Structure 1
């Protein structure tokens, strides 16, 4: 029975053109294409007008959707064109590889084995005598690179492209595949190691088993399209039958159910090693070669596209640039002994002539033309999980395009469409599907949001993974939040979930989470946990009526949280070491910021009273007391005279130098402006440092450096100038007006200031 093996490179344009030619010549009655057999149920869609590559088959474990793999296809992929050929002529076509179910089971078994070894292994760190010597590391080289090196290439992919993909010659497909078969046969005969050797043994045995099955069904003109490396292993299917049967029986038995569907893919991700085989780094260029590569003037047409792209970006490019770039590319091709201009030559000519050597401009060509990132399309009637259907319906109704290109949206939450868009993006974020990246909105206020959206194909997998929680996006998010919070005793995590649920308008989840956080907060004795929860709860109030959320219950919880914090904080700060004091220091600053948003004078005053207790309480670390002193000064709860007294006390000789350094660190809070303008505090600090004994100064120097390193460069410069002058003597005399001062000239700016400030003169 005739059996023709066509060894190809995945996504290779030359391979595809030769495959089509061979299929036309052979007219097979069965086509077998490399890929998992589970794909048989889905490849019949190839040829449907609504299935537009780049697309990929997603194969996943039904019970554990996170265990999945992708089979990407471009229009110029040999596998795509082979299946398309068979479907158009109604010729049986099947996939040829190890089933995904077995592959998934093998990975699960390997993971379980690794976990068992990790649990059983207990090697002592210093037991050098009993430890075994490490095995030498085997570095596997790409087998094709041996031919490439002989030919003078340091890149095997480039060598393959020049010899097998870019030099398609009509009516010579048989010679092409004979050359590929001969090369791969010699490489395999030489036993050149590959990282996939062990995996390929089982895969190729299964491939041969599928070929034998097709032959037993009396197909007598079979064409196999597979990766070039596998081609020699599939020639002999008769003498290997017994060994293959024995090998396949040793494969793990599995009950894993695999589902498959088509999903849109992107050009950029054709370069990933996903599912099988080698990828490409220049899909836009390959697509151009597929459509225009047979023309003699294809290189000029490519350079014309480059020129058109530059002109759109307001870059001056003339026809002369295109001509000179083409001549340079031709010269480079000739010097390198190539039969045809390649992408490398065109890029070098473009950078030299059109970009004037600028690599930044060439990166624009790579992004827009060489990769030309775009998203494929799939038919609506494809089998999908309900959650995926609901998502696509919402995206369509909200007019959000699923595109790989980054697209900016500025949303006005007072408009229904924009509010619905915001809810959808926030709900996806809850499911850890980060379609939108939040950016700074130009307009202030809680009714404005700005997002940058960029869809990635893998996000479909995340949707399928979360489909176990519900059939709609709203239901899925609600159940997911409730389940992840139900057993949690972490107030901060629950508060974070509330913060996510409100902009997503998940009212059922919000009601549950509010009850949960109130319940946990009532029994929690961890003050830091309560402080962590306060800030997100307070920030929720910024959504107001725009989100149509009743904030009454939230405000009650905020009041209760702050009250518990104020009661427990003084005792929680007693006797802390340096590390824990710095943690509390950061939490105190966060709570203080949060209280500024609380419109409750009684609670705000309660917080200030708590800070005053910390300021005078014995056993509290200096960094905490310094922080509270500064916070109270900033809101004028203590005056400058009292602050100076506290500053002098903290830096007095009776204090431990480490306490004084910590107090200073907490007081300054990463800003040195107060030392620049307050000469009293500066003099106290200067005197303290000057009078430190040498051994204490050396000990405290790292702390002081850390404190002052957080200041702005300009602040450090001014403090350095001030340090040169030493202590500052404040003059009690009033500053005299400069004799050259011109009152009329000064008054001339007043009308403009009044206009800017909106002041009306009486």
Structure 2
């Protein structure tokens, strides 16, 4: 009974090619592969022609799919070649790593304990996929069962163990500054792979003699692997091929007792686990994605796998073809010179063949003419790439995932890792259907699309999205499967569940807005009933004001989306009526902080009513603003803000504005009240002050009448009032000082201008307007 150990590095084309040849020569009768044993039944599916890498095994606990972990495989992964060999040659193959079920059980128990200790945190404290709390035996989410991948449940004990970088140590011992260069030259670019695995095992054995002992996690993994090897020998297999991370080979070969290994594995908790194949993407194989066992350039490694002969020439040719496709100059002569320079760089650096670094340097100098932009394009499109794998339809998948795949195909919405903009016209059937799908996925927290909020939301016929598919969304789909078997059913159930948990009216109206955008008629009916019941008993004016904008969006978007939104209007009318009745009392005798919060809510109500064509409601609202702008006891900030809203919408003329300004800034009004009123009036825009000289003169006279101590006390609030002005507005205010004496109001007071007295206002104005004001010499020029 011979056991043959093949120590590999994950996602290495050189290791994959050598392992392919070694297995063909050995013809093992059993292959033991480092990986999750829960996925053994899925390995035979690798022989299906519909399976196209990159793909990943997704293993997750049934009770908490968010803890699921991925085990990615590329075509150039040695593990994938072992799986393919076993499938095509009908050789038994089994995974031998420590089952992730133990780590899942520990993670779920820790999460439950944390929630019990802090019940107020709720779901917000739950780790996401790939966060703390994943299985002890599993690699980092988005990573393969890799010996160099960090565990998800990192504890203080893990930091007590220093982990050696074996590849880096071998590179330094060979005299290379680059930690990856030795492995790249000696392993990945090696043509003669004979005795390579023996040499790797000897090198790792030497390194492990000087490395610290493994932590508990690694010790358990290696103990379980040794147990699997013993079981295979006991079953009578004569030629056993063990494929694992190179670092583990010495530990698996060393003699240990069964009793010691069983002691390490005794008493581990378990939970129910499921596994399936999911598509993966080339960019998620890269280090830059956060994948611990990733490679720098998966596109380059895929190229080495498919084109081992004259890889540099073919690579540079592909780069030139890409540049031409983008309209960039890349002549055949430049390609030839680039290849020559890459060969020369390799010779100067003592390398047998030019690697990716030499090709990149040569392309930058010759093909890209020293410009980094084309090189960045080559890195993004070739070195990394956007390839997404495929899995056969026979692969186990949640019904929700199958429904999404069918809708993607019907709507011609291809999933890609590139960021793609999508502009939708909601007047067209196709646009409405695509929008409906994306909004339903947002309800399920499957963020394939991001709605661009900077577009004009007051328009009802256009939507802009940014689409980017991430393999992790498969976990989110599985997590959402508990709500239903179709996207529509799951989104509706998700909103209804959230409605039962909603504690305030604004939460319900936000959910109703989501239901309208997702076009869920039955859910809309349910939520409307909840909103009506909650609105009838809601007493908090702030909640009523916060609930109004989502309802207005429902009424405005309902028609274009084919949703019956007429039942929303009575609720809107009821809310506005109650807001107008209670606004005066809510604005009376409150401090500045409460006044700021209330004024922001008044702004949102104003914007909502501006978008809704209901003149009667707007008239009632403006009458309320008119009343509170002159009513005693109302917070000064709110009175000033209400007057500004009325003036901007031509409900108050310039004469009335000046009259109220004189009253609010008279000597009988305390400075703190006058400052608050002025802050509310001027906030957001300085055009009011620039365009109305009478108001300017009134404010100027009020400021001039303040004592020094009072002025310095109120200066921070005055600065805040001016802080929202644009730089251009501030500059115009500085220039306006030159015309102070030429206005009709000033002429009536004094026909002559005293330059020395006018200059006295400049330091005060500089304090008000801040450092962005034009310099003094520019103002007086």
Q: Secondary structure at the match of 1:492?
A: helix
Contact 1:374–1:405 (Cα < 8 Å) also in 2: no
- Give the Cα separation in 2 of the matches to 1:289 and 1:8: 17
Map 1:191-270 onto structure 2 (within 5 A).
Answer: 191-192=211-212, 197-236=215-254, 239-250=256-267, 252-254=268-270, 256-270=271-285
Match of 1:126 in 2: none
How far apart are residue 588 of structure 1 and its match?
A: 0.5
CA distance, structure 1, for counterparts of residue 643 and residue 410 of structure 2: 55
2:431 to 408, 418, 437: 418
Asked if the contact 2:455/2:463 (under 8 Å) is kept, the reply is: yes
The alpha carbon displacement at 1:495 in A equals 0.9
What does residue 61 of structure 1 align with? 61
Going from structure 1 to structure 2, the CA distance change for 1:44 and 1:469 (only over 3 Å counts) comes to same
Cα distance in 2, alignment partners of residues 30 and 10 from structure 1: 21
Equivalents in 2 of 1:239, 1:391: separation in Å?
50
Call closer, same or farther: CA 1:149–1:704 in 2, change over 3 Å: farther
In structure 2, distance between residues paired with 1:441 and 1:723: 39
Give me the whole-angstrom Cα distance separating, in 2, the residues matched to 1:679 and 1:193: 81
Give unpaired runs (5+ residues) of structure 1. 120-133, 734-762
Match for residue 738 of structure 1? none
1:140 to partner: Cα distance: 5.0
Q: Contact conserved, 1:96 with 1:210, CA < 8 A, in 2?
A: yes
2:202 equivalent to 1:185: no
- Cα distance in 2, alignment partners of residues 554 and 25 from structure 1: 74
Matching residue of 1:396: 409
Corresponding residue number in structure 2 for 1:312: 325
Q: Check conservation: 1:402, 1:455, Cα contact below 8 A.
A: yes
Write the distance in 1 (CA, Å) between the matches of 2:415 and 2:492. 24
**CA offset at residue 603 of structure 1?**
1.6
Q: How big is the shift at 1:447?
A: 2.9
| Shift of residue 457, structure 1, vs aligned partner | 1.2
Greater shift in the superposed pair: 177-186 or 690-699: 690-699
Distance 1:92 1:665, change over 3 A: same
Deviation, structure 1 residue 563: 0.9
Say if 2:555 and 2:566, in contact at 8 Å, map to a contact too.
no
C-alpha distance in structure 2 between counterparts of 1:407 and 1:272, whole Å: 23
- Taking structure 1 as reference, are residues 317 and 452 closer, same or farther at Cα in structure 2, changes over 3 Å only? same
Match of 1:128 in 2: none
Partner of 1:23: 23
Distance 2:200 2:591 in 1: 70
SS of the aligned residue for 1:35 comes to coil
Pairing 1:704–2:727 present: no
Distance in 2 of aligned mates of 1:718 and 1:530? 40
Q: 2:335 aligns with which of 318, 322, 325?
A: 322
**Cα 1:8/1:677, change in 2 over 3 Å:** same
Counterpart residue number, 1:487: 501
CA distances 1:699-753 after superposition (whole Å, capped 9, x unpaired) = 33332333322222211111122235546523899xxxxxxxxxxxxxxxxxxxx
Cα distance between partner residues in 2 of 1:543 and 1:342: 57
Contact 2:284 2:291 in 1 (8 A): no
* 1:119-518 alignment, distance < 5 Å: 142-165=165-188, 167-170=189-192, 172-174=193-195, 176-192=196-212, 197-236=215-254, 239-250=256-267, 252-254=268-270, 256-271=271-286, 278-292=293-307, 294-295=308-309, 297-439=310-452, 445-518=459-532
1:4 match: secondary structure: strand
- After superposition, the CA RMSD in angstroms is 2.5
Structure 1 length as normaliser, TM-score? Answer: 0.88
Segment of structure 1 superposing worse, 315-324 or 406-415 = 406-415
- Report the Cα distance in structure 2 between the residues aligned to 1:400 and 1:700, rounded to whole angstroms: 58
**Deviation of 1:65 (Å):** 1.3
Aligned to 2:131: none
Instruction: Provide closer, same or farther for how the CA distance between residues 139 and 669 of structure 1 changes in structure 2, counting only shifts above 3 A.
Output: farther
Q: Does 1:546 align with 2:560?
A: yes
1:89 matched to which residue of 2? 89
| 1:71 and 1:274 in contact (8 A); partners too | no
* Whole-angstrom CA distance in 2 between matches of 1:570 and 1:198: 67
Residue 680 of structure 1, CA deviation? 0.9
* 1:107 Cα deviation after fit: 2.2
CA gap 1:728/1:594 in 2 versus in 1, 3 angstroms: farther
For the residue of structure 2 that corresponds to 1:213, the secondary structure is helix
Provide the rounded CA distance (Å) in 2 between the counterparts of 1:433 and 1:728.
Answer: 63
User: Which is further off, 482-491 or 651-660?
Assistant: 651-660
Larger deviation: 19-28 or 694-703?
694-703
In 2, Cα distance between equivalents of 1:370 and 1:135? 34
Cα deviation for residue 392 of structure 1 reads 1.5
**Which of 579, 590, 610 is residue 596 of structure 1 equivalent to?**
610
2:672 corresponds, among 634, 658, 662, to: 658
Change (3 A) 1:38 1:303: same
> Do the aligned residues in 1 keep the contact of 2:285 with 2:291 (CA within 8 Å)?
no
Q: Deviations over 1:668-705 (max 9, x none)?
A: 23101111111111122223333332223323333233
Deviations 1:14-69 (CA, angstroms, capped at 9, x unpaired): 11111112112211111111101011011111121111011111111112111200
Per-residue deviation, residues 531-571 of structure 1 (Å, max 9, x unmatched): 11101111222224322222221111111111111111111
